[in-house]
Structure formats: structure tokens, C-alpha cells
A and B are shown apart, each in its own frame.
Chain A
Amino acid sequence: MAEERALAGVSEVQKKIRSAFDVFDHEQNQTVDVREIGTIIRSLGRFPTEAELHDVIAEIEEEEPAGFIRFEKFLPTMSRILMENKLRPVPEDLLLQAFEVLDQQKKGHLDPEELSRYLTQEGDPFSQEEMEEMLSAALDPEKNLIFYRDFVSMMTADEPW
């Protein structure tokens, strides 16, 4: 029975991966653009850093990188990531702490300029576009400040799929 359930578990995982992949498979030919792999992996509830993402792509790319990824290569790698719980989500309270770390004066909010500086220069830097998009979601337009506690609640509210 345990074995059956284990097998059922595996096939559930595979169906999940298939579903996510299909949404981005525009040509219905079992391939997706390599630039969408990050989105697919993340939409499956994983939280890769950019470096981890590059590693995954390197593993599943064609020998001659052709700009697309085939499902048959994606499936085993992604299955393993899910089964072994790799690229794990970061607990929400850590996310809040991260903001608090940046908010040295414990004001409870951040200036858009200082946040932009951090996020576009440190770590896995955001592109200008990403930064603008985040600000449009995070910024309180009246006060021109980011109340990060609210923002964290918003980002973590949606149940991961």
C-alpha cells in the first residue's frame, strides 16, 4: 500500500510539472522558451536564486543551446527538485526580517530610493524594470514610502500553487 501511495505521489508530481509546463508551451510541441524556465520553476512553488536557476538550466539545456528546453529533459530534473524539496521556499518571517535588516532605524518603512539601491546593486540585482514594477506594487503613493510589513503580507498571502 505504501508503495502504491508512493507511486501515486510520483505521478501527482509529474502531472503538476506537466500542467505548469503546458501553460508556457505555446506551440504545443513539448518545448518552452528557456527564458520562461525560471517562471515555471517558481510557479511550482520553488524559490531558486539566480545562481541556482542557472545551474538547473545548464543541466537541462540541449548540448547546442538552442533557446528552448524540452519537456523530456525538464521533467526528471524538476521531479527531483520537488521530491527532494530543493530550492525551498523561504519562511515568511525571514522575509520580514530581511526588510527589517534594511530598515536600520526601525522606522517601519523604507524609502523607495534606499530600497532601490539595495535591490538593484546587491545580491541578485533587479533590472530597472523589475525594480519599477516592485515599487508600483509596494509603494504607498501618498506617503511615497514602502510599508514593508504590509508588502510582505501581500506577497505571502497568495497560497503557493
Chain B
Amino acid sequence: MGCGVTKGGEFHKRYDKDGNIISVRISAAITIRAAVLIQRWYRQYVARMELRRRYTWNIFQSIEYAGQQDQIKLYNFLGYLVDNFTPSSNERNLISHIFRENEVCRDIEWERFFDYRHIEVPDIYSGPRLTFPLNADQAADLVEAFRSKQQLHSRYVLQLLGETWKLLRVLPNINRISTCHSKEITICGDLHGQLEDLLLIFYKNGMPSMEKAYVFNGDFVDRGKDSIEILLILFAFLLVYPGEVHLNRGNHEDHIINLRYGFTKEVLGKYKMHGKRILKLLQKIFSWLPLATVIDQKVLIVHGGISDTTDLALVARVDRHKYVSSLRPPKRRISHSVRASVDSDMDEDLVGSKYSILNRRRASLTYARPFPARESFQHRSLQDFSSTVARTMEEELEIRRRQAAMTRPGYSMSCRNLNTSMLSPSSSDSLDAFENVQNEWKQILDLLWSDPMIPDGCVPNEVRGGGCYWGPNVTEEFLNKHSMQLIIRSHECKQDGYEFCHNRKVLTIFSASNYYEVGSNRGAFVRLGPDLVPYFIQYQANSMTREMSVRQSLRRTEHSALKVLREQLFAHKSDLMSAFQQHDKENTGLISLSDWGSAMSQVLHLDLPWRMLRSQLITTTTDDMLDYHNWFRNLAIKEKSYEHIEQTLLDTLYKHRSTLETIFRIVDTDNSGFISFEDFRQTWKLLNAYLKMEISEESINDLVVSIDTNKDGNIDIDEFMESFRLVDKNMLERGKSLFMRRSEEYDGPQDETTNQPPQTPTNKEGGFLAPP
């Protein structure tokens, strides 16, 4: 009797009056066998999940890092634009906006630029009204206001930024702090515009105060949607507690990177009137952010990492504000032709100046008259450098370096390609100075962009396009040389929010939870006391993730990763087709699965386990052979209006869509969200020439006409970019995800802002698209 198992009990059945078994007592041996069986199964199941988790992670990381290489393309393209226009043309001024250095000696002019006093705050404004100097209550109120989704008025934003700039200017390149003053120091990693995570950190750990010191280790902005709010909070606390709050610059504190990764767009969207000014000021502020923090002379905190040439003494001496963007090394002072002065900038932007907004509305890459640009453009080519531009020696060097960089993108930023043979002896002084600048630039790049690797050594970081991969021996040498014991860095997303490597001498701390997708990872922060022993706190914003099981989290993340991967496949469709056809010489339309795998890794250059992904990406095969035309058809369908457009054109557009979007936003000088028909055509033509593609005039014209759906001569940038979402034919037909086998277990993609399930089939999250 009874319901427990007794060891050594006999096999014994009890029946009810109908002859049904109601209980069975079984022998211990059978119990053990049953247990073993279940255990074996369960461990097998867990192993399969683990495998999927690993390669899902790999997908996200590969694509993220590969995407950063597009930054180099953008940089090169913009450089090409600069090179190919005469000094007198309007375009040059526009492009040089991006590349301008901020002159130190013109501080007074900059203070004028920060002038907020003429901006009026309407009575109806219910957000925080800041008074300076700020106090702790105001900082706390600011946090509360942002938590309630309020927006700080641009007047206060500019005022706050102005005060921040004044403070940052007097800070050293390397903050040196000590645990003896505030007992414990809290270090946070990447936040990437995820306000919820910062609020969670403050909730768990308390806000900064005299007793609570914080170090924020860079990458405050981009990707997430509340980057400006995070910045304002951090700057406010910096102003209130300058001795306790320390900010390190990250690689995303960079205006060119911001153009691509969403911060620029966010600011312009939230601050329609003064957004551009705010961005200009932030450009300056970013360049003034300190580069590193050292605790008790023993722990180095830096955003990326180090290299085998990192020299903290040198880093402490550089003029860090000269290095405005990682993607543009500083030009030498001698060459003036590229830069407009700060003065002319300000004149353009100050409200009430003689250049009104209306006059500048049509300033663009084209000339004021609609068509002549086209003819004159046609005479230009990538090779045609010498025709109209007078160059200095330095500019020539720059161009050659960039030319070399175009063929070897990975080396463009971290190697010096000085063509010494073309220099005469008298220019050797300027060469030295140039080398110095290059060297300093490399030091900073290494600090902000590097990643640790497992083997010994130090190699350029070609995946990211900047900084190095550094090994345990480099860490060892560095720590010995500087008498330190630990490097704390961020820059890489980690599933548990933090991770040690190099024999626990390097710690990665990452504070943006759910970075790739809801449920993908936890965030963490670390506390150090006088014993310098790290103490971690992990968290995950979004209450829903806590209720999801590991399995559901994995499903969701995997679904996202595969969606992202399919977009990549689609973007490389032409190349993949060629590769498939290579394996299908007899044109049967079929290739083996093994050949499919080879083609994928050959074309995509993504280090992924293609064999494993096969089952997720291919659903029907006949006799182990894949009908690749059909496979592509199932991958996506195009928008009806584009059906007649050449495949190659669409593919190329798709592949470069991020770069295109960035350029459009630059061209859209008044931030209206629209660019003219003509500007779009010109931009596209320039990209076409730069990429040396063979796309006909008619194709481009057709494309432009079909995009301009309301026929008013303007193209809505957002709408245009939206049309690149993929639609999976199978998804539409079956109303169910291709990858979810048991949809009842899966909550489905959720709209993150409202936590409501999306309305299918036209929601964005699931990759569906309603025709515009």
C-alpha cells in the first residue's frame, strides 16, 4: 500500500473492481532503470539546446561584427565624395560637415554656439526645469521624469550639455580614483540606449552619491531608443558628483558611428528644431570624454581593451579631443581645403542669422539647378583624381592610403600605409608629426575597439575594422609593466552579463540586457571594494523574460537570429546564385546539401556552422538535393511595385541599405525626413560609381519613380527603408512561423514597448509587411 517506492519491495499490483490497475509497487531495479532512462534523455535534450544556443549566439555576433565593417565602406565612400568635388562646390561643404575637426582655439565661438538663452520654454511644458548649478534632487527628478517618459526641453538640454563640456575639458585623459573615499565603486558596461537597464541598475544599486561612486564604461548610445535620456542622466550626475561619477568613452561615442546605429536619428526625431545643434555639441563632448579610468592604480577600466603597444603614459599625454571620430584620423593643420571654419558652421545654424532655414532647404549634393550636375558628374570617375583639385602632399598621402584601404578594409584603420618613396627629404619633419598623430590615433583606437582572444599574441581586429585582438601574454605584460592586477572592459555582449578571461585578469562587463533579442542575455554590473574583489549583480529588464523558461528564451532568440540570417542571405542573393550555379554545371537546378554548405560559407564569409543551420534554413529536399531556385523563392517575395526592377539593382540596394540610409540622412539637411527625387538619384549614382556597378540610367529612373509613390517629387526616407523588410511566403500562407514546430509553446514575437502581442499579419516584428 502507499504511494512511495520502497527499496527492495516486490512487484505488486492492486486492482479495482473493474480490473483496472490502480497502483503498482515496483522493484528498485526497475525504478533505477527508469530514472537512468529519463536522465539520459534529458541530458541529450539539454545538449541539443546548448548547441542551438551556441550557434544562435554566433549568428548574432557574426552579423553584428560584419555589420561594423560597413562602417569602413561608409567612411571610404564619404572620403571618395570629398576627393571628387572641387573646393568651390556646395557639396564639399556639406560633406565636410562630417569630417570637421573642432578647433581648440575657438572656444569662445563654441560658447556662443552652446547659447541656449534665446530658446523659450512654453508654460505648457511639464517636464523638468533645470537650474544650474544642478543639485542631487534635480538629478533624481530627471531620472523620474524620464522614467515617466517625459522629454527634457531643448533649452535645458543645451544648457546641460554646455556645463558638461566645461567640466569635461578639465578632466584628464585617464581618471584616477580610489576606493578609500567611497568604499565601493560600481562599474557598468554598455548601455546602448536601453533606459530600462539603467533604471534597473539604479533601483538595485542606488543612484550615484557621495557614498556611491560609479564608473560608466562607454557605449551609452546607439541601438536602443533612449540614448539621449541616458546621456542626460549620466551628465547630470557627473555635474552633481564630479568626484564620484566617471565616464569612459566608448567606440559608439562617435558621431559617424551614430549616423548609422540610430543615435543621430533618435535625436533628430525627438528634437526637431534643435537636434542638429545638439548633435554638433555632442560631437564635441564625445571627443572630450576621458579614455580610461584607473582604480587604486591597480585596476584599469577601459571600453575596448589594449594592444601590445598600449602605453598609458602616452595615452595620458595626448590631446584626446583632436580625435573626434575613430573613422577619420585627424588631418594635419596645413590642409585647409577640406574644412570649412567653425565660423561658417555657426552662421548657418544659428537661428535668426542671415542664412535662414528656407534658403538652405534645397542645399544638397546637387547644384541648385536640377540637371547640369548629371553631365558633369559623368566625367568623373574613381581614377580621375588629378583633374580639378589642387592637392597638398598630405592630401595625396591620405588618398593613397584610402585607396590602399579600399582593397584591404581590415587594415584601413589600424595600419599605417605611408608611401615614403614619394616624399622628398624636406618633408621629413612633417612626416614625423604625421607619424606621431597616427600613433596616438592608434593608441586610442586600440583602447576603444579591441577584443581579447584566447591564444597569445596581438593581431589587427579585422572583424570590427579597428583595434586589435589581444592575447593573455599581452595582458600579462601590460599588467606587469603598469603594476596592475585587473583589466575591466566592455564592448562585447555576454550571455550572463559578465565574463572573465585571460586567467581572470580580464573582465568583460556588459550592462544592456536582452541586447540581441528579448531573453538573449542578462546584463550585469560589478562592485569593487578596497579589496578589489569583484562582486557581480545580474539582471534582465522586461518582466516577461523571467517567466519564460530557458527553452522559450532560446526559441525566441533563435527565431530572431534566423530572421536576421535570412536577410543576409537575401542580400547576397546574386552572389549565392552564382556560387550555386558553379556547383551545378549541368544546370539541373539542383545542388547537393554539402555543396550548398560550401557555397554559403564561401559567399557570406560568416563563420557559422552551416551544416547545423541546414535543417533550419532548408525545409524541402528531394533525394538530398536542393532546388535552389525554389529555395530562394520561398525565402522572400518582393514588393509588387519593384517586380520589374532588375534583380541586381535590388540586391545591391538591399545589401547597402544601411549605408544608403545614412547618406540619405546626411543629404536631408533640414531633417524633414524627405529627400528630393533628384538628390536620391544623385546619391544613388554616386554609390553606383563608387562601387563600380553596371547599372543603367533607366533602371535607376524606374526605381526612383516607383519609390516616389505620391508623385510629389520627394521620397520619404523611412518609407523607402521600410520596403526592405522581408516577407516570407510560407509564413503568410501558413500563418505560422517556419521555425516553430509547436506554436502553442511559443508566445510569439512581442512588441517590446507595449508587451502586447502583435497584430498579424502586418506587424513589423514578425517580418511581415503591408504594402505601402
User: Which residues of A approach B to under 8 Å, CB–CB?
Assistant: 12, 15-16, 19-20, 22-24, 26-27, 29, 38-43, 46-49, 89-90, 94-95, 97-99, 101-102, 104-106, 114, 118-119, 122-126, 130, 133-134, 136-137, 154-155, 157-161
Contacts and interface: CB of A to CB of B under 8 A. Distances in A.
8 contacts: A24-B54, A27-B454, A49-B36, A99-B38, A105-B22, A122-B31, A123-B36, A154-B742
Contact of A124 (B36, B742, B745): B36
Contacts of B40: 47-49, 90, 124
B26 interface: yes
Contacts of A12: 594
A155 B31 contact: no
B45 A155 contact: yes
Interface stretch (B322-330, B335-343, B609-617, B664-672): B609-617
Interface in B615-644: 615
A38 B48 contact: no
Contacts of B745: 154
A15 B21 CA distance: 50
A106 B51 contact: no
Contacts of A89: 44
B5 A104 contact: yes
A122 B7 CA distance: 11
Interface residues of A: mostly helix, strand, loop or mixed?
helix
Contact of B3 (A40, A47, A104): A104
A20 B24 CA distance: 43
A19 B614 CA distance: 12
Q: 9 tightest CB-CB pairs across the interface, nearest first?
A: A42-B47, A123-B35, A123-B36, A98-B34, A122-B35, A27-B454, A43-B51, A19-B611, A98-B37
A122 B615 contact: no
B55 A102 contact: no
Contact of A42 (B24, B43, B615): B43
A125 B36 CA distance: 8
A41 B5 CA distance: 33
Interface of B: 3-5, 21-26, 30-48, 50-51, 54-55, 58, 454-455, 549-551, 594, 609-612, 615, 741-742, 745
Contact of A23 (B4, B36, B54): B54
B26 A38 contact: no
Contacts of B550: 133, 136-137
Contacts of A22: 609
Nearest to B37: A98
Given A104-B26, A161-B612, A94 B35 contact: no
Contacts of A104: 3, 5, 23-26
Contact of B23 (A101, A106, A124, A130): A106
Contacts of A157: 741-742
A123 B44 contact: no
B128 to A, nearest CB: 42
Contact of A105 (B3, B43, B612): B3
B549 A136 contact: yes
Nearest to A19: B611
B39 A27 contact: no
B22 A19 contact: no
Most interface-central of A42, A46, A104 (chain B CB within 10 A): A104
A161 B48 contact: yes
A14 to B, nearest CB: 12
A43 B50 contact: yes
A150 B51 CA distance: 23
A95 B40 CA distance: 10
A94 B37 contact: yes
A39 B50 contact: yes
B333 to A, nearest CB: 44
B612 A101 contact: no
A29 B51 contact: no
A73 B182 CA distance: 54
A160 B25 CA distance: 34
B615 A137 contact: no
Contacts of B58: 23
B51 A101 contact: no
Contacts of B22: 105-106
A137 B44 CA distance: 14
Nearest to B30: A101
Contact of A137 (B35, B37, B551): B551
A136 B46 CA distance: 13
B46 A133 contact: yes
Contact of B615 (A124, A155, A161): A161
Contacts of A154: 742, 745
Nearest to A122: B35
Contacts of B5: 104, 118
Given A106-B22, A118-B31, A157-B742, A38 B47 contact: yes
Contacts of A46: 44
Contacts of A126: 39, 42
Contacts of B46: 39, 42, 130, 133
Given A119-B35, A133-B550, A47 B44 contact: yes
Contacts of B742: 154, 157
B51 A15 contact: no
Contact of B55 (A15, A23, A39, A134): A23
